[in-house]
Amino acid sequence: MLTRHFSKFVSMECTQGRILERRTNMLTPYDWQEGMNNRVSYIQGRIERGAAVLAVSLNAGIVIFTYRRQSPKTFEIYDRLAFAGLGQQSDVEAIRTAAMEFAHREGYNRSEHDVTIQRVVTAVSTPIKAAFNDFSSAPALAISLFAELGNEPDKDQYYVVDFDGDYHLQRHTASLSGSEHPVMNLREEVPLELTPEKAAQKLATLWMQLTSNHGEKAVSLDGLTPEALFMERNSSRENVFRKLEL
């Protein structure tokens, strides 16, 4: 069961200073709502300084761009399925590991064609939602992006999984951000015809615009390294993933 990969979310003690409420014998609707509001505020405060993730479909494939510190933030999950995360590194890693193990187990027990982005996202979101709704457990301090490469740009799929376990589908482009940045039309800014390298450079420029607020950078680049993952659509190689040099 996927839940075992997230056992730390449902068994760990709440650390000092976390704005979490222990479950009591009975919660009034007001207590429950106040507890949820405190929980959301705490999580948002922990992830709002994270480096945004931008993804866009091209004729050549999918490019996912972000900035990282020591640990990578973009990963291969399965043959044509990628993952990127934002938030507490241990929680990002737990989600990535759960997604990868579920995908490979499905591929082994069923077939490679049965490993779809929707099945993976549905499985991963369940323990995240359970942890968020349980006041006696620590929630996942992370949001996630899953990208599936199709045979053509219109067939690409992106799913964003929020810290409460809710998720939504996007087409053509997607983004992760811990703050309420203005929505940017990546499709207009990054044409389908661009090469992966040119698209990554364009995304780097857009990343700076997206994370700037009235001339002040929302995320400092001190100690950050650009990272771009490319999934090649019509690759002759078995592995369609490669890191782009920036």
82-111 pLDDT per residue, tens:
999 999 999 999 999 999 999 999 999 998
CATH code of 173's domain: 3.60.20.10
Does any domain span residue 150?
Answer: yes
Does any domain span residue 20?
Answer: no
The Cα 86–Cα 108 span in angstroms is 29
- Give yes or no for a contact between 47 and 85, defined as CB atoms under 8 angstroms apart: no
The reported pTM is 0.84
What is the number of structural domains in the chain? 1
Handedness of CA 86, 87, 88, 93 (dihedral sign): negative
Q: Percentages helix, strand, coil for the chain, rounded to the nearest 5? A: 35, 25, 40
Does any domain span residue 239?
Answer: yes
User: What is the torsion angle, in degrees rounded to the nearest 10, for the CA atoms of residue 22, residue 27, residue 30 and residue 35?
Assistant: 20
The Cα 240–Cα 43 span in angstroms is 34
Does any domain span residue 97?
Answer: yes
Q: Give the pLDDT confidence score for residue 61 in this predicted structure.
A: 98
Does any domain span residue 125?
Answer: yes
**Positions of the chain with pLDDT lower than 70, given as ranges:** 1-27, 29-30, 180-183, 213-220
Does any domain span residue 145?
Answer: yes
Does any domain span residue 159?
Answer: yes
Strand order in the sheet with 167-170: 74-78, 81-87, 142-148, 157-161, 167-170
Q: Which residues lie across from 170 on neighbouring strands?
A: 158
Q: Give the pLDDT confidence score for residue 21 in this predicted structure.
A: 41
Q: Which domain holds residue 216?
A: 52-243
Does any domain span residue 149?
Answer: yes
Find the helix packing angle between 89-109 and 117-133, rounded to 10°: 140
